[in-house]
Amino acid sequence: MVIIIASIVIIYPTFTFIFVVFLVGFALMFDGVSRVIKEINNKHEEKSRSRAFT
């Protein structure tokens, strides 16, 4: 398996570079979306807590 993947990388370096860039971009996008969702949930929880303690 490793030999097959290494040979693909050697034969098609441009395709491999583009694939890695898209993979990193997708990971960053997924991380950004998850952080936005986390912040929205944190704001919602803060409002719930502040009402409970007043």
53 lies in some domain: yes
1-53 pLDDT tens trace: 999 988 988 999 999 999 999 999 999 999 999 999 998 888 877 666 655 55
Q: For the chain, what is the domain count?
A: 1
9-20 b/e with 16+ CB inside 10 Å = b? eeeeeeeeeeee
Q: Domain for residue 46, yes or no?
A: yes
Domain that holds residue 31: 24-54
Quote the pLDDT of residue 33. 95
33 lies in a domain?
Answer: yes
Q: Is residue 9 part of a domain?
A: no
Q: Is residue 48 part of a domain?
A: yes
Cβ contacts of 16 within 8 Å, gap of 6 or more:
8, 9
